[in-house]
Structure 1
Amino acid sequence: MRRDGRGRGAGVAAATALVCALGMSAVPEAAYAAPGEPTPGPEPGGSGGKSLDEVRQEVEGLYRKAGSATDAYNLAREKQTRQERAIVKIARAVVTAQKEMAGLRQQAGAMARAQYRGGGMPAEARLLLNGDPGDFLDGVTLARKGQQATHGLMSRLERTQAALDRYARSASREWERLDRSRAKKAAAKKQITAKLARAQRLESRLEKKERERLRWLEEEKARTAQAKWLGSGILRDVGTSATSSGRRAVDFATAQIGKNYVWGAVGPDTYDCSGLTQRAWAVGGRAIPRTSQEQWRLLPKVAVKDMRPGDLVIYFPDASHVGMYVGGGAVVHAPRPGRRVTIAGAGSMPILGVVRPDRR
């Protein structure tokens, strides 16, 4: 992608300028009725007499709830992966400890057999019965070494056994956590599929013209919100320069424009909102959390007026959506099922806050 003088892709600069222009103009098309006008003649099983704007609100609400459940699903899946890795690590440690235990037991057996061959008499007693002073002194040295070896062997046996017991307890805890993560993941998936199916049924019952109008209503709402955000004068303070890491992240994210949203996806062909930002920042050289809620919780926060390209804009009170600021008052994001990765106004959705993966 060719860069302009400010270090952002020229295509991104043009797109963000268009977003700003659309946000400021936000004029409804004359061919459409007012947003609150009812749809003519509800079909059986259709919108139930609701206005198209009411349908839009219901569909939007369902996708928002599905987005929250997607975050829960992604977090549970990430925890499940970590727990599975922890169990594998514990299993490998157990194998190593068991091998060490087998070797120690062989040594202990050899020492017991040696003592049996000596008549079962302790080394200290044999020394006292030895009448040769030189042999006695040599025997004392050997006895001490034997005692040290025996003590060391017993200590290693105890430590190894304690390690095996600890591994067993850890494995039990990880299995319990894994079961909980699997249950949460399954519950979230059930909720996601139910919400998505309901939203898709609502949309499918609309005629083609109504579906086009529904999409226009969504875009109109976003344009109005963006215009209001821009009208606050926020861009007077917002930064325009990105770090080298931020530029790489922005370049990657904008290169994904046009790819489909799929919940739980992290690329390369489809993404959900946080899958896109996580992957973009991996290319930028920073590992960040998987979900928008964890990104909001764990990454350094910055004021909206201080954001710069590459920063992540977190949306809605439950932090259920995220986009990447690309400059010019715009973000790149994966909106929802049925939509594609696109450029949108940074203020087109309710902003919760901004986080910076490469704060310095």
Structure 2
Amino acid sequence: MRTGKRGLTTAAVTVVCAVTVLAAPGTAFADPGPTPSASASASRTAPPAATPGKDLEAVREKLDKLYHAAASATDQYNAAEEKARQQSAEIAALAKKITEGRQELDRLKDRAGAAARAQYRTGGLSDEAKLVLSEDPEEFLDNTGRVMRGQRATKGLLGEMTRAQEDLETYQADAAAQWKKLEANRKAKAKAQKEIEKQIAAAKELESELEQEEKERLARLERQAQEKAQTAWLGSNAVKDLDAATTDQGRKAVAYATAQIGKPYQWGAEGPDAYDCSGLTSQAWVAAGRAVPRTSQQQWQQLRHVDVKDMRPGDLIIYFDDASHVGMYVGDGKVVHAPRPGRTVTIAGAGSMPILGVVRPDTATAPAR
């Protein structure tokens, strides 16, 4: 390592410490990097050779926290986006009802106007007045029936007009309420977007401070941390059957998700060219014929929970205490997932991240093997 390397690494850590984020704690592992040569150590006034490795481990942990914070904000963005989409659809439906309500009210008013004009043409005498003035018994009986029918018709017309007016006022009030909710969710989306962009920018700035050798060592640290976590998970007997049978829908969902391998991660994306974590899992199940909630938190809250040891391909594994990440189990102890910005859809060990639990989108029973 050249003179000045420690200074660069220390600068990276200084950038790390300057960024405050909301994130789940990472898991630290020993430095796998090479020990500096004696000549390199002699060329700088630095602490023992382990210090650069410890600094890189701190960088790795901080990057994990930054991207975790971005993932949490992405879930909030997606939830706000989904609500805004639903509210826009509701407003459109209400607008249609308002238009139809106004047309119905106009039609009823026309009927009332026609009745008033008819009365005017007959000299302005109401049917009740004609009944009183009638001297012919047969005419009296005819007028009596006409009066009763007219009263019922008038009462019915007034009732229809009242109901139409009340419905119209209800639709208008509902539309106003939905507009307020839509505006609130637009603001929530904008706030979440700023948080996502802030965390990703901080992570990129931190990574840009590293030299190529450090980036490579950082990548090794990440791989070894994941491998260690996966080995520990498999050794814990958490999974009863790594190759459990699944349903036809489960197979279709897995086929869709694995076909996306290599496509880039993009927050808020649902394909077909890029995905975020829950965009991948939700679209995979849509392709299998089952609509599931859009975000990983909603998937955790609304789908049926199953024990980790009983999971089968197609099930969704929810990660971290705040349910901010999700992957799809594909069997053999592996998941397919969209990891984070700068990465692509890939296969990873199911236990390489902290598991919150497992949910199952379909309710069919898997065939016996």
Same fold (TM over 0.5): yes
Separation in structure 2 between the aligned mates of residue 314 and residue 355 of structure 1, nearest angstrom: 8
Candidates 300, 307, 326, aligned match of 1:303: 307
Aligned to 2:178, the other structure's residue is in SS state: helix
What is the CA distance between 1:114 and its match in structure 2? 2.0
* TM-score, normalised relative to structure 2: 0.84
Aligned to 1:352, the other structure's residue is in SS state strand
| 1:150 aligned residue | 154
1:322 aligns with 2:312: no
**Structure 2: which amino acid aligns with 1:224?**
K
Conserved 8 A contact 2:33-2:53 = no
Are residues 193 and 41 of structure 1, via their aligned partners in 2, closer, same or farther at CA, if it must alter by over 3 Å?
A: farther
Choose from 188, 201, 205 the match for 1:201: 205
* Match 1:254 to one of 253, 258, 263: 258
Do the aligned residues in 1 keep the contact of 2:31 with 2:57 (CA within 8 Å)?
Answer: no
The code of the aligned residue for 1:252 comes to Y
Range with bigger deviation, 75-84 or 133-142: 133-142
Counterpart amino acid of 1:219? R
1:222 aligns with 2:247: no
Report if the CA contact (8 A) 1:333-1:344 is conserved.
yes
C-alpha contact 2:239 2:310 (8 A) present in aligned 1:
no
Q: Secondary structure at the match of 1:340?
A: coil
SS at match of 1:261: coil
2:195 to 168, 187, 191: 191
Q: Distance in 1 between matches of 2:197 and 2:301?
A: 26
- 8 Å Cα contact 1:247/1:309 also seen in 2: yes
What secondary structure, in the 3-state scheme, does the structure 2 residue paired with 1:51 have? helix
For residues 125-158 of structure 1, what are the alpha-carbon distances to aligned partners after superposition, in whole Å with 9 as ceiling and x for unaligned?
2112111111111122222221121111111100
For residues 31 and 168 of structure 1, the distance between their equivalents in structure 2, rounded to whole angstroms, comes to 66
- What residue is the counterpart of 2:290 in the other structure? 286
What do residues 207-242 of structure 1 show as CA deviations (whole Å, max 9, x unaligned)? 112112112211111100000001112333455111
Matching of residues 101-180 of structure 1 within 5 Å: 101-180=105-184
Alignment of 1:352 with 2:321, yes or no, is no
> Deviations along 1:101-128, whole A, 9 cap, x unmatched?
1111111111112223334333112112
Where 1:335 maps in the other structure, the secondary structure is coil
Quickly say closer, same or farther: Cα 1:58–1:30, change in 2 above 3 A: closer
The alignment covers a number of residue pairs equal to 325
Task: Give the Cα separation in 1 of the matches to 2:362 and 2:45.
Answer: 54
The one-letter code of the counterpart of 2:125 is M
Q: Does 1:213 align with 2:184?
A: no
The amino acid across from 1:63 in the alignment is Y
Match of 1:56 in 2: 60
CA distance in 1, matches of 2:263, 2:125: 82
Equivalent residues of 1:28, 1:220 under 8 A apart: no
RCO comparison, higher one (Cα < 8 Å, 6+): 1
The residue aligned with 1:7 is: none
Counterparts of 2:30 and 2:55, CA distance in 1: 17
CA contact (8 A) 2:31 2:221 kept: no
Cα distance change of structure 1 residues 149 and 30 upon mapping to structure 2, 3 Å threshold? closer
Aligned counterparts of 2:180 and 2:32: Cα–Cα separation in 1: 60
Quote the Cα distance in structure 1 between the aligned partners of 2:280 and 2:140. 78
Identity of aligned residues (%): 53
The answer (yes or no) to whether the contact 2:338–2:344 under 8 Å persists in 1 is yes
**Which structure 1 residue ranges, 4+ long, deviate > 4 Å from structure 2?**
27-31
Q: Secondary structure at the match of 2:244?
A: coil
Report the TM-score, using the length of structure 1 for normalisation. 0.86
